[in-house]
Amino acid sequence: MAGDLFYILVFPGFLFLAVFALIADYIDRKLHAKLQNRIGPPWYQPLADLIKLAAKEDLIPRQVDPWLFKLAPVFAVTAVVTAALYIPIWRHGTPMSFNGDVIVVLYLLTIPTLTFFLGGWYSRSVYSMIGAARSIMQLFAYEIPLFLSILAPALLADSWSLGGMTLFYAHHPWYALFNAVGLFTALISLLGKLERVPFDIPEAETEIVAGSFTEYSGRLLAMFRLALSIEMIVGAALIAAVFLPFGLNLGGPAAFGLYLVKVLGIVAVIALARTVFARLRIDQMINFCWQFVAPVAFLQVIIDLVAKGVIAR
Amino acid sequence: MSEIRSRNVTIPIGPQHPALKEPTSFSVTLSGEKILQVGVRLGYNHRGIEKACESRSFIQSLYLIERVCGICSHSHSSCFVQAVEEIAGLQLPPRAMYLRTIVAELERLHSHLLWLGVAGHEIGFDTLLMYTWRDREIVMDLLAAITGNRVNYGMNTFGGVRRDISHEQKADILKAMDTLEERTKYYISVATEETTLIQRLSGVGVLSHDDAIRLGAVGPTARASNVKRDIRKDDPYAAYDQVPFDLITSDCCDVYGRTLVRVGELMESYKLIRHLLNNLPDGPLAVKAPRKIPTGEAVSRYEAPRGEDVHYVRANGSEKPDRVKVRAPTLANVQAVAHMLKDRYLADLPIVVAAIDPCFSCTDRLIDLTRDGDGRCDVITWGQLHDYSMRWYKGQGMDLAKLNNRFKCGESS
């Protein structure tokens, strides 16, 4: 019991995730700055931002339902932290693992977007409402490709648990190469999920101020920001576990170190995308996702099905 | 979502909004993401500069006029100086003409580099902003070295210029031009190859050739619609009739075309500055100008980085101008914005507005009081104004008359 609580609250639960998210946030911002020929923030900047926001007053618009308004950020943080509990870090599977947890993780990672929608929609501000509508429109565009590309490797591994998948790929390391296409589509979908450039349409500041978060301030905004940062590393960890399932056999510190490297590597890719792309329009984003990303993700499913058929023979 | 779909929403962009660098107000009526209607409202930054000039001497007015715009300050001061010189019949020494032109082209460089960054920011491409503003610093440093100021250079005076360019400065400028040309070539390759950039700019904010003429667009906005309109060619001033340069136009007619025109003009400016520096004539910097300007009037045109700038000056033989009128280029271009935004997406609004390189504060000149309905223009009394505001607030659902009867002052009319 105490072990479980430690696992959920401290390591690799909430506390570890929060610290790791802040570090990843720092690396993302610093790398982004360096690529843009800027100096970038000092190492404590993400924490300082969080403390500053937490110290500010929570302003709640008069017309909103205060419960929903306050609960949305809490749900966002809770969902991403819960999702992290099922993702293997230094061994195959976690104490919470069960067959089917990959689906649960994907669903838990959808919840933050829904809270952005609800929080924004019920803010009763035109900017928030447009941002919320864009969030949900974008969700429909990237969610299917993300599901397809994450579930395709599961088909090949014949296991619906992340632990089972990593175990399979540990026994057959070369099979992971079959999933190379899915890695790209999953990364693109993750950019959409995290609302990062080129898919930062729901919070395009030059159009709709801050989108869903326009009316949020203080601790509630801090919680949303933290949820997004944690979502970034959880999403990156999920992709690392599914597409780069190497080194878990090393066990202990070595595997954990490799996990950090993999996650930060994906964070670096996200920072790179943020540097080299301009923001797309929502219609261009949806067209791109349905005309290009979804078919390619579907191709990944076919590749894995064929590979599985060949292996079975 | 159904709420947005079923009825149109009007969202305010401005007077304070992250997309705007200056106070102005767009009220955008949306159906989903589509723009149905755009209302533009200027006039948040009227500073009464024209009127203030009338109570100052010509030389004082020159410094005031320079502060019309923070980016193209040399444009406004040159335009004003040209008008006054025409009235006073002053003939500029050739070196002064060349120096004036060099500063003008340096100003065009930093203005266009600034625009490129702003355009990048509006479409969420902040890397371009960081890169071009870094390079813009090179130009700003040059201007500071030549004139002593990063903006509001104080270079012009009636009958010439106030500062010379030394040999060392000339070498510095030529070196900087090489660096900037190298980097501009890189931006051209980015602009012509980067997919997301082209997707966001191409086909956006279309202004056809005929519409550009009909709506009186000027500067890069007109040239991007293939209108060959450039005061430097049409009505050469300063040293522009003595230097070779090409008129950059594009037939894209959209924001992408405006980007290409501005980047192309950067390349032309490097050429121009090199030519001007290498052929800089010797001689005095200025001729003596009289303190009292003889009676007369003049209109002066000038190709500012944003387009044609027009100044009108009337002198009555005293040391103060009788009337000064300024028409900043944005006023000519702002009419085209509402046209460009028709049937576009909300996401295009910031970049379409930014694409004319607006300078709203420079544009704010005059407030016309027109009465709702008949559009008549007359003076209204305090009482009428009070009643009007009561009616207006009632229309917004607020009955202020009930709130504070004490302050009712309709009697005074």
Predicted ipTM? 0.79
pLDDT value at position B105?
92
What residues of chain A lie within 8 A of the CB of B120, using their CB? 278
**In the numeric block, which tokens belong to residue B233?**
């060619």
What confidence category does residue B41 fall into, taking pLDDT thresholds of 50, 70 and 90?
confident
Is the pLDDT reported for residue B48 higher than 70?
A: yes
What residues of chain B lie within 8 A of the CB of A287, using their CB? none
Give the 3-state secondary structure of residue B157.
Answer: strand
B15 class by beta-carbon count within 10 Å (0-12 exposed, 13-18 middle, 19+ buried) = middle
Between residues B242 and B370, which one has the greater pLDDT? B242
Rounded to an integer, the average pLDDT of A75-93 is 83
What residues of chain A lie within 8 A of the CB of B125, using their CB? 197, 277-279
Task: Tell me the pTM.
Answer: 0.81
What residues of chain A lie within 8 A of the CB of B3, using their CB? 129
Q: Put the strands of the sheet holding B321-327 in their side by side order.
A: B296-304, B307-315, B321-327
Q: Do B200 and A281 touch (CB under 8 A)?
A: yes
The shortest CB-CB distance from A275 to any of B127, B197, B199 is to B127
What confidence category does residue B410 fall into, taking pLDDT thresholds of 50, 70 and 90?
very low
Contact A283, A294 (CB under 8 A): no
Give the residue carrying structure tokens 């997301």: B196
Is the pLDDT reported for residue B71 higher than 70?
A: yes
Residue A1, in any domain of the structure: no
Rounded to an integer, the average pLDDT of B149-177 is 89
Residue A8, in any domain of the structure: no
Q: Which domains does chain B have, with CATH numbers?
A: 49-336 (1.10.645.10), 371-413 (no CATH)
What confidence category does residue B382 fall into, taking pLDDT thresholds of 50, 70 and 90?
confident
What confidence category does residue B139 fall into, taking pLDDT thresholds of 50, 70 and 90?
very high
Q: Do A136 and B1 touch (CB under 8 A)?
A: yes
Is the pLDDT reported for residue A75 higher than 70?
A: yes
Residue A251, in any domain of the structure: yes
Element counts in chain B: helices (H) and strands (E): 17, 8
Residue A63, in any domain of the structure: yes
Please count the structural domains in chain A: 1
The shortest CB-CB distance from B127 to any of A130, A276, A281 is to A276
The shortest CB-CB distance from B196 to any of A206, A278, A282 is to A278
What confidence category does residue B393 fall into, taking pLDDT thresholds of 50, 70 and 90?
confident
Is the pLDDT reported for residue B4 higher than 50?
A: no
Contact A261, A254 (CB under 8 A): no
pLDDT value at position B374?
66
Mark out the alpha helices in B317-363 (DSSP H runs).
329-341, 349-355, 360-363
Residue A32, in any domain of the structure: no
The shortest CB-CB distance from A207 to any of B12, B120, B349 is to B349
pLDDT value at position B334?
82
pLDDT digits (tens, 9 = 90+) for A216-246: 888 889 998 899 999 999 999 899 888 887 7
Q: Do B199 and A36 touch (CB under 8 A)?
A: no
Contact B93, B160 (CB under 8 A): yes
Q: Which residue on chain B is closest to A117 by alpha carbon?
A: B1
Residue A26, in any domain of the structure: no
Enclosing domain of residue A81: 47-308
Rounded to an integer, the average pLDDT of B307-326 is 89
pLDDT digits (tens, 9 = 90+) for B251-278: 888 889 999 899 999 999 998 999 999 9
Residue A291, in any domain of the structure: yes
Min distance B322 CA to chain A CA atoms (Å)? 43
Region of residue A105 (phi > 0: left; psi between -120 and 50: alpha; otherwise: beta): alpha
pLDDT value at position A250?
72
% helix, strand, coil for chain A, step of 5: 75, 0, 25
Secondary structure letter of residue A157 according to DSSP:
H
Average model confidence (pLDDT) across chain A: 85
Between residues B377 and B380, which one has the greater pLDDT? B380
A–B interface: beta-carbon pairs under 8 A: 91
Rounded to an integer, the average pLDDT of A207-222 is 84
Residue A10, in any domain of the structure: no
What confidence category does residue A47 fall into, taking pLDDT thresholds of 50, 70 and 90?
very high
**Side-chain half-sphere exposure of A128, counting CA atoms within 13 A:** 19
B276 closest CA partner among B17, B16, B49, B96: B96
Secondary structure letter of residue B372 according to DSSP:
T
Of the listed ranges A12-21, A167-176, B91-100, B205-214, the least confidently predicted one is A167-176
What confidence category does residue B5 fall into, taking pLDDT thresholds of 50, 70 and 90?
very low
